[in-house]
Structure 1
């Protein structure tokens, strides 16, 4: 498998896909090309330099999925700082706890969220910037409004730095060892108990390289991003992997209600769908089960000749409802209901179930749908190992799943006791599953 450094994957990918669409916000006519995104990343790098941000400094981002959210994440990653995603629906106390615990020195946030936050309670933060517009929402007195002043001059600074315009030759990201911390992703919003999962460039890179090698996304493919990008699952396979290869990502920044999702699927026609079980379970419960429980359909299912036809029609209607052009649906984040899984398999719907956790950024196992075995969660990735611990006979008795390899986190931030409790001396991560 290609072991190209993650940041160089993005540098070469952005240059190669320069004119292709990178991001579109669903419901608007706004589209950002890879060139536009690389230019905005460069502008944010200038801001970081002016603000005195150093490699390894923590940058928090809290907001709904958006252009700005993606740019902040990618700019922080490619600068060499550490991104700290905070779920937009965490309450204020939990969010402030995470920002403080992570020692974040800058915060990007939706203004509606910051309105209920107390700036003096996040004292390490030098400046708070809006995700909704180009504006500084608050700034620590020690900076003497330096960030706000620089932000006002940013367009001129960009012209001075790139007098001939920003070109592919200007996309140049640092060579940083992949053992370097890249992200702290908090597993819980409970004040005092949040655990910050430390993910390195190598952890993120392991997920991205696998996704690229497996052609989950590819140049010119289409993706619909509706899972929270602050979660490792959505981040890895709705953003990081697609952006590595030149995929066009449509961002659904609103609450993904079933009605809105079906509308988005029909318009975007994604080539891959990643979702949590709840999505398929709702479709089954609200749309499919009422069909198969009709007396006429139940009678038809008892006749071998008609049974196949009925299942084909149900499968085709479901495929069409989800856009009609996807290779497969990857389900992850939680176990899929057995009844739903069995029915989807019965009608030959192209789905597969993977397994992972934030501590692996997130992927541990996956198998393409054509090779998927019902009630499994795929094969362990080539870059990972797995074993069953605490069972005298792993084939017949349950035990704990343990994994180690490229995707396993560095540990929990500022919590060596919790780290030692889950990663043993041989490097095995005890998943608790």
Structure 2
């Protein structure tokens, strides 16, 4: 296994009921996590997100956020987690710099998302069951391809955001 998403899938095969995520009263085993990530990736695909597209995820540390992040990785998109503390101008600049095709957000960050690209989706909607799962034969992303773009607004007083890319293989080593 050479990527984070492959590690999650492998763990689901080995220990499907083992705890993968806990968020308050919500607990997910690895098999349930894999199922929800696959459904979320299927919805992203149905909404037109393709391998190599850039998506931004902004929200609090929740099960929904993790599912959104992993769904982007499974689909082969390049995912950029956004800092929760960005102001509207910084967030809009980050989305523009990244040339994001969609923004995934939680309810507390709806206002930031509303002033960016379309389509946009709530992470809670993306994590909801009932969406068709991504096909099992959907190609797995190449470990050498970019998986994450990390971006920040730059030093104080700097009007230009900065970013760096990380290959998928670096996540599995982490």
Residues 181, 200 of structure 1: 8 Å contact kept: yes
Listed as ranges, the matches of 1:23-38 within 5 Å are 23-25=21-23, 28-38=24-34
Give the number of aligned pairs: 171
**TM-score of the pair, normalised by structure 1:** 0.36
1:130 lines up with 2:97 in the alignment: no
- The answer (yes or no) to whether the contact 1:59–1:82 under 8 Å persists in 2 is yes
| Alignment partner, residue 100 of structure 1 | 96
What is the match of residue 186 of structure 1? 151
Q: 2:97 & 2:165 partners in 1: Cα distance?
A: 13
| From 35, 60, 65, the counterpart of 2:56 | 60
- Name the residue aligned to 1:40: 36
Alignment of 1:144-293 (within 5 A): 155=130, 157-158=131-132, 174-188=139-153, 192-207=159-174
- Relative contact order: is structure 1 or structure 2 higher (C-alpha 8 Å, sep ≥ 6)? 2
Length-normalised TM-score, structure 2: 0.84
Q: Structure 2 unaligned runs (5+)?
A: none
- Indicate whether 1:13 and 2:4 are aligned: no
Cα separation, 2, equivalents of 1:20 and 1:99 = 36
RMSD between superposed Cα atoms in Å: 2.7
When Rg is computed on C-alpha atoms for both structures, the one with the higher figure is 1
**Partner-residue secondary structure (3-state), 1:54:** coil
CA deviations 1:213-254 (Å, max 9, x no partner) are xxxxxxxxxxxxxxxxxxxxxxxxxxxxxxxxxxxxxxxxxx
Q: Within 2, Cα distance between the matches of 1:73 and 1:89?
A: 18
Is the CA contact (8 Å cut-off) linking 2:146 and 2:165 kept in structure 1?
A: yes
Which residue of 2 is the match for residue 423 of structure 1? none
Displacement of 1:118:
7.0
